[in-house]
Structure 1
Amino acid sequence: MAPKVLIVLTSFDKIEANDHPTGWYLPEFAHPWEVLHSKTELTIASPKGGAAPLDPSSVKMFENDPVSTKFLNEQEALWKNTEKLADVLPRAEKGEFDAIFYVGGHGPMFDLATDKTSIALIQSFANARKPVSAVCHGPCVFVNVTTPSGKPLVADAEVTGFSNTEEDQVDLSKVMPFMLEDELNKKSGGKYVKADQPWGEKVVVSTVKELGGTLITGQNPASATGVGEALLKALGL
């Protein structure tokens, strides 16, 4: 039987501070989906359920990326009909899923980073030693998650995510609720790592120290395929 992976998208669609449309980032769903969909059974969820907002800037930015454009044109139902996080939490706690993956984009910084249901979801996967994974801004979902002893989930674990330099280069640092690199570095005890160059691929596979499960993070859009491949490997595929 194919392993079941829960994919989580943001429900947040607009940054009020600069009136900037946002959401989840196209290649960060398209590329992992390309890797995962034929070998796993996927469930897509978001905090509000229903349609999860796709960041329009990511459509423009990746219009010449065949994987992203094919996904955009053929798989719209995946993000238009998401399940509600609150409805999948009890199923996750009963062990229905084998791994969880968070798609990036700026949206998660505003809803998923502090969403109590999302935090409980991640804790249920981590406590069961099931792989938890995220790409780009997606690792923001881990910053407020703790282990049973109260330590940060990422304590003493090598971790990556969208860097300060990358945030500065897209000119959104001033409207972010926090800087992801700084927060991940703090919560991990200085174990944040990144690619040699901004926008370079960086995928980090480490262990949730207290619990023993796999923690997979990718730095940016270029890391999306690698995160999907690392997740397949963690599932023994």
Structure 2
Amino acid sequence: MSDASSFPLHNVGSEGKTIQQPSGYFLMELAKPAQILLDAGYDITFASPQGKEPTPDPLSTSLAAFVGNWYEKNRELELVEKMKKENGLSRPRKFSEINDEELKEFGGVFIPGGHAPLADLGDNPELGRILSYFHQQHKPTAVICHGPYAFLSTKYTPASNKEFAYKGYKLTSWSDAEEKFMETAVLRGEVTKVESALREEGAQMVESVGTSLGSITVDREVVSAANPMGADALGRKFVEMMAA
């Protein structure tokens, strides 16, 4: 998880200022896969850079985000409250507290979306260490929307020589086209583009009408999805990969 409750929004207004835009994790992108994991009998350990309680993106908790489905919105909010009490969501462990030996106990790693990962996950060396372990051990790794931006952290570990661990991987993220729509319709500023950032490091980005509508991409140990529409499929595939 990200600790951030905002992210940098660039070229705002006539003066082209950079401001901090409120954000956090995207509710559906956490709740839907988490419910699938819990239903499958898995324990969830939450972790973040500094161990702060994660905050949801305000846009993701609106009724509009759920297309008026009040029941589904409240079910996911209730799951979050349950995970705060039972799974440590309100007090994540710091990445640095999970040592290499303990990583052997985990079946997989999952990074949800929301714009927050743009603020503090892409250059975090401790997250890079964790992701590099799962990559080297070929253990399941799931990412959705802006979550794949965290893969850039693998360049910042001492052993990486600034090499991107997922070079050549087929990955899906929140696309540049989707981000540009958000910039124009909602944010009124410019956002760091996840798709472009990963492609520049050598990832083979898979972006299409299908991924925009919820199809997922699987390459070796990684399953990725573009947006909340892929959250259920991502969760199911992640559980399947861990059980294999």
- Normalising to structure 1: TM-score of the pair? 0.83
1:198 offset after TM fit, Å?
Answer: 7.7
Distance 1:32 1:65 in 2: 19
Structure (1 or 2) with the greater helix fraction: 2
Q: Where do 5+ consecutive residues of structure 1 fail to align?
A: 1-8, 208-213
Q: CA RMSD in A?
A: 2.4
Distance 1:225 1:89 in 2: 30
Does structure 1 conserve the Cα–Cα contact (< 8 Å) formed by 2:26 and 2:113?
Answer: yes
Range moving further from structure 2, 150-159 or 223-232: 150-159
* Correspondent of 1:162 among 170, 174, 188: 174
Alignment of 1:129-208 (within 5 A): 129-145=138-154, 151-171=163-183, 172=187, 174-176=189-191, 178-189=192-203, 191-196=204-209, 199-207=212-220
Distance 2:209 2:233 in 1: 16
Does structure 1 conserve the Cα–Cα contact (< 8 Å) formed by 2:7 and 2:118?
Answer: no
1:2-29 deviation digits (Å, cap 9, x = unpaired): xxxxxxx110112353442111110000
1:106 alignment partner in structure 2: 115
Task: Name the SS for the 2:224 alignment partner.
Answer: strand
- Which amino acid in the other structure matches residue 219 of structure 1? A
Percent of aligned pairs with the same residue? 24
Does structure 2 conserve the Cα–Cα contact (< 8 Å) formed by 1:28 and 1:135?
Answer: yes
Alignment of 1:1-237 (within 5 A): 9-15=1-7, 17-39=18-40, 40-60=42-62, 61-62=65-66, 64=69, 66-76=71-81, 77=84, 78-90=88-100, 92-93=102-103, 95-145=104-154, 151-171=163-183, 172=187, 174-176=189-191, 178-189=192-203, 191-196=204-209, 199-207=212-220, 214-236=221-243
Task: Name the SS for the 1:29 alignment partner.
Answer: helix
1:211 alignment partner in structure 2: none
- Which amino acid in the other structure matches residue 243 of structure 2? G
- Normalising to structure 2: TM-score of the pair? 0.81
- Equivalenced residues, count: 220
Distance 1:153 1:69 in 2: 38
